[in-house]
Structure 1
């Protein structure tokens, strides 16, 4: 396999990654054959998955616009993946060019792409780190340079916490990030669930576990528990297309999404 110039020698091109498999489902070009093969097998089991992931990206856009509308101009995007079209910096800057963004991902390919796309922008950066280690993420020089934690920050966890098993205590991880933020900060997240009516979701989950990485589906109640540190804004913890849909985002059967979304504000 020809190694692209932006892919360092330490990146394993023989194993699929969640970020690149997601990129395949979104129709992106930042992936490899091994990722496309894994994505194809998962879609064979669950044909509706690309639709769900597109709905998740639409939720990201709505949530970021909402946060900018609430005066938030700083974003910490955890498990950001590959910043294909319509990602946080594009959405935020279209509303306020002064917004500052830190992308964080454990996949070096995702980080390499992020840095290439962002170029020399002083108010956006990408950090190679594991979101399960909040202290390392928060103390990273690029995080410290880019974000001012004495002012509100939007902590973003879109479609990533289902990759964090219960043994890693995801609620404690979320709370540690929130503890580092100022009052008036927000948490926005989406999370896959076996609640709902997506066809063959359990089979697709098993395929993902076998071919890509661990995957922990959670109930609506368990997802709500992850938001214990914030005041959840209307309409609460709902299916993706039910969270403040804009024209074109609606869905006649939101339960088919089998993914919940929510935004909450840190009081104080």
Structure 2
């Protein structure tokens, strides 16, 4: 197996990664044969999953733009993944060039490639960390150097909370981040649900596990995801399918109705 020069030496490229499989689904180039194989299996078991990835990415752009247009000038993207087109700093800078962004991911390839992209960008940086390390992230040199927690922050947790098992306390984790956010801050989330495609989603998740990956999801119903957003005033239309959150054109929606509902999404303002 050929190892590309952008791959850190400590990465086992024989085991698929959810981040790299997602990169492939979005049409990215930073993935390997094992990632493409499992992504194709997932798409066969849950037809339209590539469209769902695109719908999620489109939601990211709309959420960032929404926040920036309401005065948010700094963003913390937890679980940013492998950079592709329309990254958070690119979308934010299209509204206000002075916006500052800190990305966070635990995947070494995502971090390595982000470092390359951000090498000449003085208003964006990347932290390698697990999202559960709240103190480590918030006190990292990158966050402290770029973000001012006396001013509102746009916090992004897209495709992240469903990787947390119930026993890890996902709602409590969100609350810890919420309590660190200053007044006027926003949170954007997307979370996989089995409300509409339960069997297909479980089969796709099983395929990921059978491939040797440790990345497994815990899909949740609408009410459970809503409970995680306690302390936030959700902007209209609330917690809805990704294709239903303020779409602006056909690129924001899949022509497969279930794929518009695979992910519940929301944007909320910190309630004080």
The one-character-per-residue Cα deviations of 1:137-180 (angstroms, maximum 9, x if unpaired) are 11111111111111111110011111111111111111111111
The one-character-per-residue Cα deviations of 1:177-212 (angstroms, maximum 9, x if unpaired) are 111110110110000000124882221122223333
What is aligned with 1:133? 133
- Match status 1:221 vs 2:223: yes
Q: Say whether the 8 Å CA contact 1:104–1:128 is kept in structure 2.
A: yes
Change in Cα spacing, 1:141 to 1:229, as seen in structure 2 (3 Å) is: same
**DSSP 3-state at the match of 2:8:** coil
**DSSP 3-state at the match of 1:57:** helix
- Match status 1:164 vs 2:164: yes
Task: Name stretches of at least 5 consecutive residues in structure 2 with no aligned partner.
Answer: none
Change in Cα spacing, 1:169 to 1:199, as seen in structure 2 (3 Å) is: closer
- Match status 1:62 vs 2:62: yes
- Match status 1:256 vs 2:269: no
What is aligned with 2:244? 242
Q: Say whether the 8 Å CA contact 1:239–1:255 is kept in structure 2.
A: no
Q: Distance in 2 between matches of 1:5 and 1:266?
A: 43
Q: Say whether the 8 Å CA contact 1:193–1:218 is kept in structure 2.
A: yes
Q: TM-score, normalization: structure 2?
A: 0.94
What is aligned with 1:14? 14
Q: TM-score, normalization: structure 1?
A: 0.95
Q: How many residues align?
A: 268
The one-character-per-residue Cα deviations of 1:215-266 (angstroms, maximum 9, x if unpaired) are 1000000110111021111100000011011022245664433210000001
Q: CA deviation at 1:3?
A: 2.2
What is aligned with 1:42? 42
Equivalent residue in structure 2 for 1:267, among 263, 267, 271: 271
- Match status 1:79 vs 2:79: yes
Q: Say whether the 8 Å CA contact 1:193–1:217 is kept in structure 2.
A: yes
Q: Distance in 2 between matches of 1:73 and 1:209?
A: 39
**DSSP 3-state at the match of 1:177:** helix
